[in-house]
Structure 1
């Protein structure tokens, strides 16, 4: 069954990049002209269709002081023609905290009253501005102290600048149509079943990563089961000479699902082998392959597609 591909972070990237990609190619190049200590503050044009940057030199002595300073500055219209604050005046910041290089910003409930485009621009402007401060790598948004949830059930976690910024060579033509097949477990957890997705994706993100992200996110259909724990972290994925090399953190070994180790492994292998240029899959844990997955399957060798367990 086909579904519209709910791309989660990919959708965020797609929409943000489509709106601001042309502007960012200029910003990337102009960043070389910044003086020591300067950062970019991001605003929007009056039509709220793209981001506009201006240089600013924070005066605060420490990270907390600079965070407060930047947020205050972003609440003040920039002295630029056709430039307004990215955050609407009706959306209030209730507070913020800094812990382990992550800034958690809490907003009033009016945050959810923003249109989709305004919300995306507001969020990207704040993340891009705040993460330039030394000692800040990530930003988390909450609303009334609860995680930010978009599109019904898509919880937005920690965000970094790279989630929003495209490289200098990126352009609108880097977005292409995507059709992928992902294998989950059936309701009984005894066989694999396929789910097909179609949509648009950023060609700068590998299809292999998109497939693995979908496996980690889990199926959309209630009659299917996830095969990979939701908190597994994908460390890297690359394909060379027909072999896809997938590297997970150790939570792939320690966290459990309601399906057999065999289904876990082959949901990955079969999904990736749907791509015409992948024939085999090598799975590693923190870069190591001399381990037994769940004490039953050796990861020392490559895996090929297994259709015997597909319903």
Structure 2
């Protein structure tokens, strides 16, 4: 019996150590859980206090217009979510007083708000026709800014958008639907907000440079480069797998700027466009650009300038300064 006492003592000690370790882990886990709960309660309390004080963060555009600048604002209206929503939208579009060197209005010039309605926790914002003139990047910035700002109002849990009474459609012609907190990309609304897939029809030329060949592909719209600019730049690089497609543009072709206004795509090109692509007729070069842009459905006509100036003749192509529409007679 005496020989077994140390062994029994060892077992008792080991069991005690195990129990102590288990208790320590349980205590640590309980503390961590309590701290997490306290942090969540603190955030919830701060959010509740902020709503009670009618103080929210307005999400303006930053100075570079590639993200957001949060600006604290105490709303004048306190009881009516619709009036509060109207106040927020007015401030987000108030370019006169909020166009500073630090932030800018997120509801762009030319975008009119026809109506605002709040019912059962949903705010419906109806825009005028000017909304459809926005680039994809501008659309995403505007919607993100509006949604993140309005969701802070007590009584608004989601936002719907429409244009002249019709549901807002995405690039695939499907309704955008209700935007809630879960649909906002990041806390600052910046990560990947420009990223989107868009099916486009590009018009390359054949090997002899006298015909256009339509080619359906998909572009990833990224950063703050307008889709129209990306389409023109993509014309420089036909897919390597398609040996029958040739670029209709000179290799050093560059786009200074593209802008959509009143269903017209204004395109300012660099002077390199005057260097004809090898064995490509100027008419083919011009309508490769026009057809590709018009197929986006953001504009029906194209107005070209070169380094900011209207040029009546592009080499052998007459009326280069006119409003141009699609010409499918050149398609193979």
TM-score, normalization by structure 1: 0.44
TM-score, normalization by structure 2: 0.41
* Structure whose residues are more often helix by fraction: 2
The higher radius of gyration belongs to 2
